[in-house]
Chain A
């Protein structure tokens, strides 16, 4: 145990924790949105993220950017990054919609038990992971350095680099847009209506299937954008990347209160910081132990998560 590192490296650990938390948040929102509407944990959501990272890599391949190339200039980076974010978001969003159609829709229309949907979700997750494992021969994929990572400025012990700022700003923009969509659009009204009471929503003329599809689209879109930030930040991916990120994002969603959008944000940033601090103080290999002990404690005291709805009221 080394608490002195908290003092000497507090700023850098905190900054990195927030950046990691922002990436978790973009994935966690997909879990929480789908849960809000369907009361279903979409376990294949992590693979939607993985498809995003693979798409990012595919775009750089198509553009002929090699891993040994020098970072791009700011102008060309902006264009390339925009292309990557859009392609990855569309790929992930489309995959999420297809996933819903293939793995969940029929079960839902047949009023199958939630357990069936859960198994279907896990099956879809395995299918996608293994598919990409075979396609990539389960190798680590190196992503080219798109932008220079020299620090822009130093804040206490933290080096503020462009890629990390990009993650924070990009995530903030997406959170803002999501907030607009949910609270000020017809789709958002539909999502909120279905989430509150599906039967009444149908009686009020809400097309539930359409709302569900669009919810998956929005969740996939956010995960895809998150994957683009992830790739610029970490510069590596592999077939099981979704599992590593997904388990953290899912934990964050539960920590914040699953089904609650603000909870997903709070949970993600909290989790990012906890992971960063605990791995510095206790050692990286203790990170997950600490994370899950905290999760269990929070759920013991407050089973609904930090900001969550009452799970007991959820229709099971």
Chain B
């Protein structure tokens, strides 16, 4: 592909941009995964709005809508690289689109802080890549522990995406072979889960782990609950499923699901910001809204300290510790966050509820 070649030269911050810098958000603003993306982008916009109230050099928020697709993200990332005023990217939202786009950002020297991409393959991926959340090497074992806690025989299903398959693999590695009842893999867009349910049923599993995202998870959990033999099977899944949209699509079937996420619940971790957010958008923040806010906050601190080139901002991100809202952020040389946080959530009466820190 020619993209990497055409963008190899990083434009230095242009004088025309002075006082008009841009931070981009990369994620889905339309498409099946849009809910997560919109919640993150709202966090970014709020951080920038707060910053602009007092700052002399104003910053604009912009976004590239990847629809969470790794097929679309590299071309859109090239647009960011070509934008001389772009100082950094908050994103990508999902692992697949991020894995595809990071080489393009790398070529243009654009610093990236992802609020929610958790695939371990992103560790050490590029000197420009950072993330504020713990990766799936932390989330996977946590999910395996939960699965072992709530049942004896665990059936593992993934959606064949880099995120879902990767997480399922880590979960499997952390189970004893006697605990693994069976496995299956579906594809994104699957609606017919009846053969998977039949396999779960015949495996006599009492727990299902699903590595994937909420559009398919909501159909899967309904299919499980509709079959009398698998009605009471416990449903365990990672942060890709943890979203209010999951509850909306799965209805009351979502109740009692065991979910994890490195993301913190905003209302307890940052109550003041939570109020401000609700006042601004008149809706509940999503999972990773807080992380997106803080990822943007990190960039804004760098700009505030007079870093207005991509290279100097990247250096700032690599070296500094920034106390954000409700979380303190710093990054190791691999790009991963130095503070490891993992949370357990569940769905109760149609609401996402934080259970405990793991």
Please list the residues of chain A having a beta carbon within 8 angstroms of any beta carbon in chain B.
2, 4-5, 8-9, 12-13, 16, 20, 67-68, 137-140, 142, 145, 149-151, 157, 159, 161, 234-236, 238, 240-241, 244, 275-276, 279-280, 283-285, 287
Contacts and interface: CB of A to CB of B under 8 A. Distances in A.
A5 B194 CA distance: 13
Nearest to B67: A138
B294 to A, nearest CB: 27
Contacts of A280: 195, 198-199
A4 to B, nearest CB: 8
Contacts, number: 95
14 contacts: A5-B198, A13-B194, A16-B195, A67-B248, A137-B34, A138-B31, A140-B215, A140-B218, A142-B250, A234-B191, A241-B191, A244-B189, A275-B195, A279-B195
A178 B201 CA distance: 38
B125 interface: no
Given A149-B226, A279-B195, 9 more contacts: A8-B202, A9-B202, A12-B201, A13-B194, A142-B218, A142-B251, A279-B196, A285-B187, A287-B195
A236 B249 contact: yes
A5 B196 CA distance: 11
Interface residues of B, number: 37
A146 B282 CA distance: 32
A151 B67 CA distance: 38
Interface of A is mostly: mixed
Contact of B202 (A5, A68, A151, A159): A5
A227 B249 CA distance: 19
Contacts of B31: 137-139
B326 interface: no
Contacts of B201: 9, 12, 157
Nearest to A243: B189
Contacts of B187: 284-285
Candidate in A4, A140, A142, A157 with the most chain B CB atoms within 10 angstroms: A140
Given A8-B202, A68-B251, A151-B228, A236 B185 contact: no
Nearest to A158: B198
Interface in B193-218: 194-196, 198-199, 201-202, 215, 218
Contacts of A284: 184-187, 190, 195-196
A276 B195 CA distance: 6
Residue among B183, B184, B195, B250 with max Cβ neighbours from chain A (10 Å): B195
B141 interface: no
Nearest to B229: A159
Given A137-B34, A284-B184, A285-B187, A142 B202 contact: no
B350 interface: yes
Contacts of B229: 159
